[in-house]
């Protein structure tokens, strides 16, 4: 029995020795390596894709929305009378538009802003219209009452016709002037009543500005050379009849009991001016017809009556 147990112990020991010799025995697991770990790969490093900054927002990542820095400054464009101060980049505004720089209305144009050209309202009405006068036509003979030469308080009735109105720059008799032109027209006077045949006639004409036709203006019957002012596009022009008026008398005579005076007149005015009004008035209305003193002034309101003939030189 003891012999059998010893044999078994020996056999076991031999088996152990054989296992060690052949590389057998307890097995130790291999160390873990990256190639053998079953885990997710590491996340890549995020690089911002930044857009350009503007005056509304800073640089901003197109992927994650993160911002860097601060917005740019606005590029302000100065305000004008139409728009407030405006950013040239984003279109944002600040404040209010500036007030218009109005040029006052005149007789030809309404009020207009000198900066933006905006217009408002209407041109000023001609003062002539406020008096209720009626204009007579060119090219037609109109009855004309005035005083006789011997006594202007004695009336004589004739006719006056204004015709052949045209405009020229200048000629050998009418000097051209930059910015001006000559209004040329023909005037025909005809008188054949008894008073005219006996005492002659004293006609009179003035040509005030249609646009500033004041009735309070002084006029001298014997003042053949005088200055006067017209207004055109808001500017006053001082005209002198000695330089700016030319007359050529074609005929002045009695024919078969009728006095005929035919004349060509020319008035120099600014280019385009259409405010010349010929006013044929009765010399008998002048205070000189009562005092005999031709140096005595008269107001237009004294000279003009219901028989006055008004003819405007305009096409």
* Kind plus residue range of the DSSP H or E element containing 310: strand 309-312
Please check whether residue 212 lies inside any domain of the structure.
yes
Structure confidence by residue, pLDDT tens digits, 178-211: 999 999 999 999 999 999 999 999 999 999 999 9
pLDDT of residue 220: 56
**Cβ neighbours around 167 below 10 Å, total:** 17
Q: What residue numbers bound the domain in which 306 lies? A: 131-312
- Mean pLDDT score, 10-29: 45
Is the pTM for the entire model greater than 0.85? no
Please check whether residue 267 lies inside any domain of the structure.
yes
Decide if pLDDT at 19 tops 90.
no
Pick left, alpha or beta for residue 23 (phi over 0 → left; psi -120 to 50 → alpha; otherwise beta).
left
Q: Among 162-176, 242-256, 280-294, which is the least confidently predicted range?
A: 280-294
pLDDT of residue 164: 98
pLDDT of residue 3: 47
Please check whether residue 233 lies inside any domain of the structure.
yes
Q: Among 256-270, 271-285, 288-302, which is the least confidently predicted range?
A: 288-302
pLDDT of residue 2: 47
Out of 22-26, 215-219, 270-274, 284-288, give the one with best mean pLDDT: 270-274
CA-nearest of 190, 136, 135, 138 to 163 is 138
Please check whether residue 42 lies inside any domain of the structure.
no
Please check whether residue 281 lies inside any domain of the structure.
yes
Please check whether residue 32 lies inside any domain of the structure.
no
**Which position has the higher pLDDT, 229 or 266?**
266
Please check whether residue 31 lies inside any domain of the structure.
no
The radius of gyration of the chain from alpha carbons, rounded to an integer in Å, stands at 54
pLDDT of residue 35: 53
Structure confidence by residue, pLDDT tens digits, 127-143: 999 999 999 999 999 99
pLDDT of residue 112: 97
pLDDT of residue 200: 95
Domain count across the chain? 1
CA-nearest of 288, 281, 279 to 313 is 279
pLDDT of residue 54: 85
**Which position has the higher pLDDT, 44 or 71?**
71
Please check whether residue 146 lies inside any domain of the structure.
yes
Place 218 in a pLDDT band, splitting at 50, 70 and 90. Answer: low
Collapsing DSSP states into helix, strand and coil, what is residue 77?
Answer: strand
Pick left, alpha or beta for residue 156 (phi over 0 → left; psi -120 to 50 → alpha; otherwise beta).
beta
């Amino acid at each position: 029995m003891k012999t059998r147990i010893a044999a078994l112990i020996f056999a076991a020991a031999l088996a152990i020795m054989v296992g060690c010799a052949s590389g057998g025995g307890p097995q130790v697991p291999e160390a873990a390596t990256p190639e053998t770990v079953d885990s997710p790969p590491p996340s890549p490093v995020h690089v911002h894709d930044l857009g350009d900054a503007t005056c509304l927002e800073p640089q901003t990542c197109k992927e994650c929305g993160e911002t860097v820095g601060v917005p740019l400054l606005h590029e302000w464009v100065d305000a004008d009378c139409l728009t407030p101060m405006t950013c040239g980049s984003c279109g944002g505004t600040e404040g209010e538009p500036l007030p218009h720089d109005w040029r006052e209305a005149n007789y030809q144009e309404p009020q207009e802003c000198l900066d933006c050209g905006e217009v408002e309202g209407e041109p000023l009405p001609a003062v002539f219209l406020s008096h209720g006068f009626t204009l007579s036509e060119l090219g037609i003979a109109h009855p004309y009452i005035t005083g006789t030469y011997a006594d202007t308080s004695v009336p004589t009735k004739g006719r006056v016709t204004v015709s052949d109105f045209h405009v020229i720059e200048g000629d050998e008799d009418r000097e051209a002037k930059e910015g001006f032109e000559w209004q040329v027209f023909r005037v025909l006077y005809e008188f054949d009543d008894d008073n005219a045949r006996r005492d002659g006639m004293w006609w009179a004409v003035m040509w005030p500005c249609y646009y500033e036709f004041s009735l309070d203006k002084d006029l001298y019957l014997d003042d053949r050379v005088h200055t006067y002012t017209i207004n055109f596009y808001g500017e006053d022009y001082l005209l002198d009849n000695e330089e700016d008026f030319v007359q050529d008398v074609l005929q002045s005579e009695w024919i078969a009991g009728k006095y005929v005076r035919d004349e060509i007149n020319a008035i120099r005015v600014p280019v385009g001016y259409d405010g010349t009004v010929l006013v044929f008035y009765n010399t008998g209305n002048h205070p000189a017809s009562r005092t005999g003193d031709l140096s005595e002034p008269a107001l237009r309101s004294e000279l003009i009556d219901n028989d006055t003939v008004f003819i405007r030189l305009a096409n």
